[in-house]
């Protein structure tokens, strides 16, 4: 059994005298800032700002930063050959391409023709789709490798409804220049501006590697508030982790990417688009916490329970030691002693029958 000192220590450490609230209400606002310049054959010279590389632009608790791209420009809805990397679209004759049947893992609907290059016996089905179809492979270097120096602004409002307690992770200051110059760190924990490269580094990952094929980063904000202390003692703690599975080599399961398109119309009013397969980093901002405050009800309940357990524990220990172990007589002799009444004993050493001693057992 634990000692009274141990029980008191646990009672204070676990704050058994407090009422708690774990139903944290939270709101997240995020903003990414930074610009970079690229010059590619598909896009030419281009300046990238936050409106180009952040999806969605509203600044939610889940957002995506583009770091690499496969660009297929000037696509129009017409007929063309399906990509030869799609096994479902390979053919030897027109009958292998039933018209109207979609290429489920491809880009369009078969027209009924098998297109072959020169004298090759095998070709690919002709499809009606956004043509030309995507055929390029992922670049060997991330297009937006300099995104490492971009910054993320994470503003978090919290409320513990049971105690009507509000707090935010931003320093309460009237200095308008503060957020323009500060960066999160041990010396400035109330600056909610994080460098992208630092966040990735804190997860144990390399930014250029994750920028090449994409990944998922978790940013967890934890609030553990003792409301018996001043509100300034309720501070956020940040934890950073890599959430997607990292496989060795170039596994097909590695990375994170998706496709989207930007649509236009030419002078004749015909619609065309630029298709982009975007690789990048998805950020998930998660918030949890608990708050505690002194309350007489849990204090009385925990103190009463402790007192009751002390009595029950002592009784159970005695029960085991006196009746259930092999050397119970030894413990019984130590626990109790026999006291004789003060009647004289006969000279011959034999007790008089009329003077039988009354034996009584008293607890030592």
180 and 310 part of one domain: no
240 and 184 part of one domain: yes
Residue the block writes with tokens 């009329």: 354
202 and 305 part of one domain: no
User: If we measure between CA atoms, which residue out of 107, 118, 125, 185 comes closest to residue 151?
Assistant: 185
Residue 253 pLDDT exceeds 90: no
What's the pLDDT at 31? 94
Give a yes or no: residue 241 inside a domain. yes
Considering only residues 90 and 304, tell me which one the structure prediction assigns the higher pLDDT: 90
Length of the chain (residues): 364
- How far apart, in whole angstroms, are the C-alpha atoms of residue 105 and residue 108? 9
Average pLDDT over residues 173-181: 86
Binding site for ATP, residues? 31-33, 151, 257-259, 277
101-128 pLDDT, tens per residue?
A: 999 889 999 999 999 988 889 999 999 9
Give a yes or no: residue 206 inside a domain. yes
Residue the block writes with tokens 């500060």: 182
What does the block give as tokens for 275? 């298709």
Give a yes or no: residue 111 inside a domain. no
What's the pLDDT at 345? 47
Binding site, residues? 31-33, 151, 257-259, 277
CATH number (domain holding residue 59)? 2.60.490.10
4 and 36 part of one domain: no
What's the pLDDT at 338? 54
User: If we measure between CA atoms, which residue out of 358, 302, 263 comes closest to residue 8?
Assistant: 302
Q: Which of 228, 259, 290 is the last residue of a domain?
A: 290
202 and 317 part of one domain: no
Q: Which of 290, 311, 327 is the last residue of a domain?
A: 290
Residue 54 pLDDT exceeds 50: yes
Question: 36 with 146: CB under 8 angstroms?
Answer: yes
Residue 261 pLDDT exceeds 90: yes
What's the pLDDT at 240? 95
Q: Which of 260, 290, 320 is the last residue of a domain?
A: 290
Q: What DSSP letter does each residue of 9-50 carry, written as one string?
A: HHHHHTTTTEEEE---EEEEEEEEE--EEEEETTTEEEEE-H
Residue 8 pLDDT exceeds 50: yes
Q: What DSSP letter does each residue of 283-335 carry, written as one string?
A: EEEEEEEEEEEE-HHHHHHHHHHHHHHHHHHHHHHHHHHHHTSTTHHHHHHHH
Give a yes or no: residue 86 inside a domain. no
Confidence of residue 20 (pLDDT cuts 50, 70, 90): confident
Residue 299 pLDDT exceeds 90: no
Domain that residue 179 falls in: 31-70+145-290
Give a yes or no: residue 55 inside a domain. yes
66 and 205 part of one domain: yes
237 and 302 part of one domain: no
209 and 63 part of one domain: yes
Give a yes or no: residue 138 inside a domain. no
134-166 pLDDT, tens per residue?
A: 988 888 899 999 999 999 999 999 999 999 999
183 and 325 part of one domain: no
212 and 302 part of one domain: no
157 and 243 part of one domain: yes
Average pLDDT over residues 54-60: 88
What's the pLDDT at 301? 60
Residue 1 pLDDT exceeds 70: no
Give a yes or no: residue 186 inside a domain. yes
185 and 243 part of one domain: yes
Element (H, E) at 6: helix 4-13
Give a yes or no: residue 65 inside a domain. yes
Q: How many domains does the chain have?
A: 2
Strands 215-226 and 271-294: parallel
């Amino acid at each position: 059994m634990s000692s009274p000192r141990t029980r008191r220590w646990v009672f204070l450490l676990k704050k058994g005298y407090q009422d708690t609230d774990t139903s944290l209400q939270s709101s997240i606002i995020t903003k990414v800032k930074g610009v970079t310049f690229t010059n590619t054959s598909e896009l030419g010279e281009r300046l990238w700002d936050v409106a180009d590389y952040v999806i969605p632009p509203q600044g939610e608790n889940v957002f995506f930063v583009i770091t690499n791209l496969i660009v297929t420009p000037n696509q129009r809805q017409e007929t063309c050959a399906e990509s030869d990397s799609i096994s479902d679209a390979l053919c030897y004759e027109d009958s292998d391409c039933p018209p109207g049947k979609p290429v489920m893992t491809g880009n369009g609907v078969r027209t009924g023709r098998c297109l072959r290059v020169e004298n090759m016996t095998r070709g690919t089905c002709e499809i009606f789709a956004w043509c030309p179809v995507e055929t390029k492979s992922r670049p060997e270097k991330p297009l937006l490798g300099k995104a490492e120096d971009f910054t993320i602004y994470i503003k978090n409002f919290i409320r513990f409804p049971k105690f009507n307690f509000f707090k935010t992770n931003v320093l309460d200051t009237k200095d308008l220049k503060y957020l323009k110059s500060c960066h999160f760190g041990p010396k400035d924990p109330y600056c909610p501006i994080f460098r992208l490269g630092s966040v990735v580094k804190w997860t144990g990952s390399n930014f250029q590697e994750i920028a090449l094929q994409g990944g998922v980063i978790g940013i967890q904000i934890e609030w553990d508030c003792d409301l018996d202390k001043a509100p300034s003692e309720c501070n956020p703690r940040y934890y950073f982790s890599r959430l997607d599975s990292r496989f060795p080599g170039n596994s097909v399961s590695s990375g994170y990417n998706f496709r989207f398109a930007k649509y236009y119309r030419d002078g004749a009013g015909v619609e065309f688009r630029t298709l982009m397969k975007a690789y990048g980093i998805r950020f998930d901002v998660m918030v949890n916490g608990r708050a505690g405050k002194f309350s007489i009800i849990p204090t009385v309940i925990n103190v009463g329970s402790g007192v009751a357990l002390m009595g029950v524990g002592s009784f159970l220990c005695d029960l085991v030691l006196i009746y259930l172990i092999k050397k119970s007589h030894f413990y019984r002799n130590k626990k109790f002693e026999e006291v004789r009444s003060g009647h004289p004993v006969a000279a011959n050493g034999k007790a008089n029958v009329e003077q039988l001693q009354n034996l009584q057992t008293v607890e030592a």
